[in-house]
Structure 1
């Protein structure tokens, strides 16, 4: 009798420059439109997290302070390989029980090259990973917003500001 592989779908959303001025849960700290659309899409997955330039992988409800750190900036940001190692360690810790039960993680990276490059490369080679998707890899910002908008029914994306016939880009 063959054993069925159970896969847990995880979306990882990159932080954005625009932030609230006060401590907030990570899911609410970032104010950009791209983050809002990516968050809405990520919420359709089994679980999701925020890729923070300063904090690494952050759970959506984790309260953090606003910061001004840019991943890939050698003056303000952490070295990318060290940052990636921290993200993977946190990911494995957060999903420790599920992984010990034989499940695998399938990652969808909703992030720019600095955030996803090394992370995708290392994850694809790991035994805990069932796959990695980079659906917005070759898209510009406007194209990313349009792609995200197409993934989720319009009423789910800012239902309070949705008007029929109006694109929310």
Structure 2
């Protein structure tokens, strides 16, 4: 992905179900191959920042220590997903410029649906792909 002369992107990665059994830094808590490949791909983009979109915690910094949990947006009501997105956007707004910064969103539709309309410059390279196809796409990128 080429960002030309634009600023380095801020990458947002969705959480996944597979987690370690003990409190860990957010970057280490999620253990699935999909998450690991999303993280590797994000690092290849030389981002300004990487954040994790957690169904429970909202916007997570990579080094924040959290306990394992079971929560997903996939079975949440629309109203609850909107409230979750509002919280994530408020956290993002405190850290970056939603209108000027470039965002790369590595997440499924339930995580992105209410975020992307409020981000002026957003790329979703895996938009519309099922989990298996996202993993396949990631495998094709720079041999991640």
* TM-score after normalising by structure 2: 0.85
Alignment partner of 1:24 is 2:14? no
1:72, 1:79 within 8 Å by CA — same for their partners in 2? Answer: no
Q: Aligned with 2:140: secondary structure? A: helix
Residue in 1 aligned with 2:137? 147
In structure 2, how many angstroms separate the alpha carbons of the residues matched to 1:7 and 1:37? 23
In structure 2, how many angstroms separate the alpha carbons of the residues matched to 1:30 and 1:79? 23
Residue in 2 aligned with 1:50? 52
Alignment partner of 1:110 is 2:109? no
Q: Aligned with 2:110: secondary structure? A: helix
Residue in 2 aligned with 1:167? none
* TM-score after normalising by structure 1: 0.73
Residue in 2 aligned with 1:63? 65
CA deviation digits over 1:123-163, x for unaligned, max 9? 23xxxxxx1111111222222112212223x3xx4xxxxxx
Q: Aligned with 1:104: secondary structure? A: coil
2:106, 2:126 within 8 Å by CA — same for their partners in 1? Answer: yes
Structure with higher RCO (Cα < 8 A, 6+ apart) = 2
Q: Stretches of 4+ moved more than 6 A in 1?
A: none
Please provide the CA RMSD for this pair. Answer: 2.2
Larger Rg: 1
Task: Give how far 1:52 is off.
Answer: 0.2
Q: Aligned with 2:114: secondary structure? A: helix
